[in-house]
Structure 1
Amino acid sequence: MGSIKLEGVEKWFGDVQVIKGIDLDIEDGEFVIFVGPSGCGKSTLLRMIGGLEETSRGAIRIDGRDVTAEPPAKRGLTMVFQSYALYPHMSVRDNMGFSLKTAGAPKSEIDTKVNHAASVLKLEQYLDRRPKDLSGGQRQRVAIGRSIVRDPTAFLFDEPLSNLDAALRVEMRYEIAKLHQSLGSTMIYVTHDQVEAMTLADKIVVLDFGKVAQVGSPRELYERPANLFVAQFIGSPKMNVIPCSTEGTSYSLSGGRGGDYHGAGEATQLGIRPEHMEIMSVGEGALDSVIDVVEYLGADCFVILDCGALGKLTSRVSGETALKSGERVGLSFPTDRIHFFDRAGKAVD
């Protein structure tokens, strides 16, 4: 079992509160990712779960047992850090089995668990090498293997891929996803990279200055953001947001035309994803704009549009587009693709 429950968890450093009363349920076998901008408290929260940071207030329960005051060794968790922290004088085999050896496990048990972890992580041919003879991705797999042999209640990952180059990050994302599928263990993963969050997580926890902004599946957060912060943090390129006003069943844009509105309250901000915005002829759609820059990416193009007082908007279109800088175009916002937000930044349904 590997369920984890946070109840009103807070963390204070002197007079500064960095974790502000978080309630969260993590089910057995879930892959949960904490994501948010630098300084939002995601690594601190992970370290609190692992016991590496003291919990100022609230309770942390693992499989129903209150572990708030227990040291890391008694929580049954294991952490994989940004730093590999491998012993350079030891072989891969010895690095992976070191924690079991220090715990006094018999050699036969150590060999069995190390060989199993090496098989899962495709490290069999590297067991007799030392860390200096491995690539960055292989070293990270060894660090993960060192955690697997301990058979933990849950794995805690603190930005494990941030030291790798772009190609290795993609490869290791795949490896971690396959690892979760094969082990079925609870995993909590911290990252500032929302692409990692979207591709790996069963459930994403978006943090904003020590508070939970929203919890949900990647699809839920992308399609139904609860507030403006989540709407612009999740998605690349980020959601376009422009000021608007609403009255009755219509919305209007300053310097534009507007369209239909079906919200239950007043909205002051309109959001539209780049891939949902349609480029049309001048005079059609919600407003007119001038194409500023066309960024060609192969399969896609990002079209940066100058909308005057409304600022710059980004549209994602096919890489086969014939659009050019300087063209005047109209922009259409399909009614079922628009998001509206009130003055406090909350989504208006």
Structure 2
Amino acid sequence: MASIELKSVEKWFGEAQVIKGVDLVIEEGEFVIFVGPSGCGKSTLLRMIAGLEETSRGQILIGGRDATAEPPARRGLAMVFQSYALYPHMSVRDNMGFSLKAAGVPKPEMDAKVDEAARVLKLEPLLDRRPKDLSGGQRQRVAIGRSIVRDPTAFLFDEPLSNLDAALRVEMRYEIAKLHQSLKSTMIYVTHDQVEAMTLADRIVVLEAGRVSQVGSPRELYERPGNLFVAQFIGSPKMNVFAVATDGLRVGGLPGEADSFGIRPEHIALVAPGEGHMDGTVDVLEYLGADTYVIVDCGDAGKLTVRAQGDTGMRPGAAVGLRFEDGQTHLFDKAGLAIR
């Protein structure tokens, strides 16, 4: 287990710069998740830490050691890929122990490490099966087990759940969370799924176009986004954002530098027209059982999403008022930076 530090890290592909001066410290035992839209550089950054991509400029320190120019095998890291990359002709036991066998580890020691990893991942009944006899979730657990037996300095996960169906993703999120609690290892995890990020991470690193947009705990990013990009990327449904100069907005005392106004769907109450901070017309209702998402057409402000509990009983075309919860509004300046 070790800390990982990135100092002014850059990555260039010819004339194209894809990682633009990233500075980041990941503490020992921390679970850090890289999130961002496609093409933001999150997988490239992970591969640079692993040594699978060359670092164009800057430094990568692992446990205080400069590992920038070291090959992957020297870094002591274990990587779990999106594809399971299991040997189809080998049993689960042989797949998990292959790297130890290749390194010349004595068989009794190898078997002990495989048995312990199988116990942690609940793979003990499957050790004699081959990959074709396993479900997707079981195969991913084998791939993780193959990493555990190496006792790595840190674990790197590159979208490990993206090939699984919704139910298996939920199951594997739980397994990975329990694994981190058990091993207390440093983990870096890449995903485009913010639910994975919010439920698993100690800290989230939000990347935008090769730069770090904001770093913080899930709660910090959700409740205090530092800019418009993070405000609208973190949260589902995303934050409602519109211009403070919008006609019909009845909110006083806004600072002069405020350009955009933000409010999350769960912080809006549906009231009678004229009784809230804005009026609109119900456009679409999305009933989800415990919640209903009410899409309200508010004219110049656009369509705002309101998260209401249960069935609202409303119908499209109904006139409504929207009341914003005190202390839950967000303001951004012309550059998109949070000012409150």
TM range (shorter): over 0.9
Aligned residue in 1 for 2:261? 270
Listed as ranges, the matches of 1:167-246 within 5 Å are 167-245=167-245
Residue 13 (structure 1) shift: 0.3
Residue 255 (structure 1) shift: 2.3
Residue 111 (structure 1) shift: 0.2
Residue 285 (structure 1) shift: 1.4
Residue 233 (structure 1) shift: 0.2
What is the distance in 2 between the residues matched to 1:51 and 1:261? Answer: 52
Query: Structure 2: which amino acid aligns with 1:259?
Result: V
Q: Is the 8 A contact 1:301 1:319 kept in 2?
A: yes
What is the distance in 2 between the residues matched to 1:216 and 1:257? Answer: 31
**Structure 1 segments unaligned to the other structure (5+ residues):** 246-253
Q: Is the 8 A contact 1:136 1:164 kept in 2?
A: yes
What is the distance in 2 between the residues matched to 1:310 and 1:217? Answer: 30
What is the distance in 2 between the residues matched to 1:82 and 1:10? Answer: 24
What per-residue deviation string (whole Å, max 9, x for no partner) do you get for residues 238-297 of structure 1? 00001114xxxxxxxx2214213365x511100000000111111111111000111100
2:253 pairs with 1:261? yes
Query: Structure 2: which amino acid aligns with 1:324?
Result: R
2:78 pairs with 1:87? no
Aligned residue in 2 for 1:251? none
Aligned residue in 2 for 1:280? 271
Aligned residue in 2 for 1:336? 327
What is the distance in 1 between the residues matched to 2:120 and 2:182? Answer: 8
Aligned residue in 1 for 2:311? 320
**Structure 2 segments unaligned to the other structure (5+ residues):** none
What is the distance in 2 between the residues matched to 1:76 and 1:31? Answer: 17
Normalised by the length of structure 2, the TM-score is: 0.99
What per-residue deviation string (whole Å, max 9, x for no partner) do you get for residues 282-314 of structure 1? 111111100011110000000000111221010
Q: Is the 8 A contact 2:280 2:296 kept in 1?
A: yes
What is the distance in 2 between the residues matched to 1:125 and 1:63? Answer: 36
Query: Structure 2: which amino acid aligns with 1:64?
Result: G
Listed as ranges, the matches of 1:282-301 within 5 Å are 282-301=273-292
What per-residue deviation string (whole Å, max 9, x for no partner) do you get for residues 138-164 of structure 1? 000000000000000000000000000
What is the distance in 1 between the residues matched to 2:37 and 2:219? Answer: 20
Given candidates 293, 299, 305, the residue that maps to 1:302 is: 293
What is the distance in 1 between the residues matched to 2:81 and 2:297? Answer: 43
Aligned residue in 2 for 1:34? 34
Aligned Cα RMSD in Å?
0.9
Query: Structure 2: which amino acid aligns with 1:292?
Result: D
What per-residue deviation string (whole Å, max 9, x for no partner) do you get for residues 180-219 of structure 1? 0000000000000001000000000000000000000000
Q: Is the 8 A contact 1:8 1:21 kept in 2?
A: yes
Q: Is the 8 A contact 1:255 1:287 kept in 2?
A: no
Aligned residue in 1 for 2:155? 155
Query: Structure 2: which amino acid aligns with 1:258?
Result: R
Q: Is the 8 A contact 1:260 1:335 kept in 2?
A: no
Residue 335 (structure 1) shift: 3.2
Query: Structure 2: which amino acid aligns with 1:176?
Result: I
2:140 pairs with 1:145? no
Query: Structure 2: which amino acid aligns with 1:308?
Result: G
SS in 2 for 1:189: strand
What is the distance in 1 between the residues matched to 2:239 and 2:19? Answer: 27
What is the distance in 1 between the residues matched to 2:249 and 2:115? Answer: 66
SS in 2 for 1:78: strand
Q: Is the 8 A contact 2:2 2:28 kept in 1?
A: yes
Poorly superposed stretches of 4+, deviation over 6 Å: none
Aligned residue in 2 for 1:15? 15
What is the distance in 1 between the residues matched to 2:233 and 2:118? Answer: 37
Normalised by the length of structure 1, the TM-score is: 0.96
Count of aligned pairs = 340
Q: Is the 8 A contact 1:277 1:331 kept in 2?
A: yes
SS in 1 for 2:108: helix
What is the distance in 2 between the residues matched to 1:255 and 1:344? Answer: 22
Aligned residue in 2 for 1:52? 52
Q: Is the 8 A contact 2:287 2:311 kept in 1?
A: no
**Distance verdict in 2 for CA 1:59–1:115, change over 3 Å:** same
SS in 1 for 2:334: coil
